[in-house]
Amino acid sequence: MNSTRGPQDLSRDPFAIAFTKNFILVCLWFSLSYINGSVVATFFSNRTFYEDPRYILFIHTVLNDAVQLTVSVALFVVSYVCYTINVSVCCVFILVAVFTTRNTPVSLASMAVERYIAVCFPLRHAQICSVRRTYLLIGLIWFICVVPDVTDLFVTLATEPLSFFHSSVLCLRQNVFKDPILLYKRQAFDALYFSLVFFTLIYTYLRVLSAARDVSVQKVLVQRARNTILLHGAQLLMCMLSYISPSVQIILNVLFPSYILEMRYANFLIVYILPRFLSPIIYGVRDQKFCKYLKLYFVSSQCKINVRVDNQEEEN
């Protein structure tokens, strides 16, 4: 949320434009939340899914993205409505947003590795990627994503007076965690995490391609795994936009100073909203097995609604 505008910029947006921007954003959030909710309901309504490591990692990513999207949209709307909020509350929102944002690329790498094992070591896949190990992996993902950034809170608690946490600020990370060393630490960890994830995706993709030459490997499985890893790579690149967008935005602001607010809004949609649509598509739509159950969930839900309506009419 580095590009979120300050109170002085907010006053430059007429009420009609500000309302339209937030209305569009909330509609997108509602649409994606409905999609994610349907995917999650489908997952938990069929035991076959939560006994499969592939779908466990998938639903973990969907839930993580849903939380990240909700917090980001809430902060965006609050920046228009309230301008400032209590620092203690802001710390919670910022940390949740940071944890879930950092979680996404690591989860993508884990899902790519699972597909690589399924293709290259099919006989050992059930042993390596057991349900128990999958949940341990998810716990490890959260641990390595939380630890580097929770130190920001400890440093702030040690350096800021108690009165600071009772004050109100525009809820941006740099307004709450203000120590300059935290910025360099964050940049170092971002570079480390995304480099490791990027090379993991490249390695798994190349190994899956090489496996395609093996006649004993199912070609359909290889093709699907290759396309899935490619989509993970595209999603990762879109997530990485959040780290270059501030620099790009500075350049655009210099070139087009009359459209600063519009560019900031477009930047938020492209960087923080659109990548969250990919997770349901990768497995919810492309995966034939999950798509079949997803359609059945919609049909059964519609039947339940019709039955309830009929019963109410009969009672009346």
* Distance separating the N- and C-terminal Cα atoms of the chain: 52
Least confident of 18-22, 52-56, 124-128, 280-284: 280-284
Instruction: Return the higher-pLDDT residue of 1 and 100.
Output: 100
Residue 83, sorted as left (phi over 0), alpha (psi -120 to 50) or beta, turns out to be left
Is the per-residue pLDDT at 275 higher than 90?
A: no
Asked if 56 contacts 135 with a C-beta cutoff of 8 angstroms, the reply is: yes
Q: Is residue 27 in some structural domain?
A: yes
What count of Cα atoms within 13 Å lies in the side-chain half-sphere of residue 266?
A: 9
pLDDT band (50, 70, 90) for residue 2? very low
Full residue range of the structural domain in which residue 65 is found? 7-315
Instruction: Give the number of other CB atoms < 10 A from CB of residue 290.
Output: 24
- pLDDT at position 259 is 76
Specify which of 148-162, 183-197, 212-226 reaches the highest per-range mean pLDDT. 148-162
Q: Is residue 1 in some structural domain?
A: no
Q: What percent of the chain has pLDDT over 90?
A: 6
pLDDT band (50, 70, 90) for residue 142? very high
- pLDDT at position 274 is 79
Q: What percent of the chain has pLDDT over 70?
A: 81
The CATH number covering residue 115 comes to: 1.20.1070.10
The pTM of the full predicted model, rounded to 2 decimals, is 0.80
Total domains present in the chain: 1
Average of pLDDT values for 92-100? Answer: 89
DSSP state of 212: T
CA distance linking residue 10 with residue 23, whole number of Å: 16
- pLDDT at position 235 is 73
Asked if 33 contacts 205 with a C-beta cutoff of 8 angstroms, the reply is: no
Q: Is residue 2 in some structural domain?
A: no
Tokens 């993991």, located at residue:
200
Percentage helix, strand, coil, to 5, in the chain?
Answer: 85, 0, 15
Q: Could you tell me which residues come within 8 angstroms of residue 106 by beta carbon, excluding any fewer than 6 positions away?
A: 141, 144, 145, 193, 197
* Mean pLDDT of all residues belonging to the chain: 78
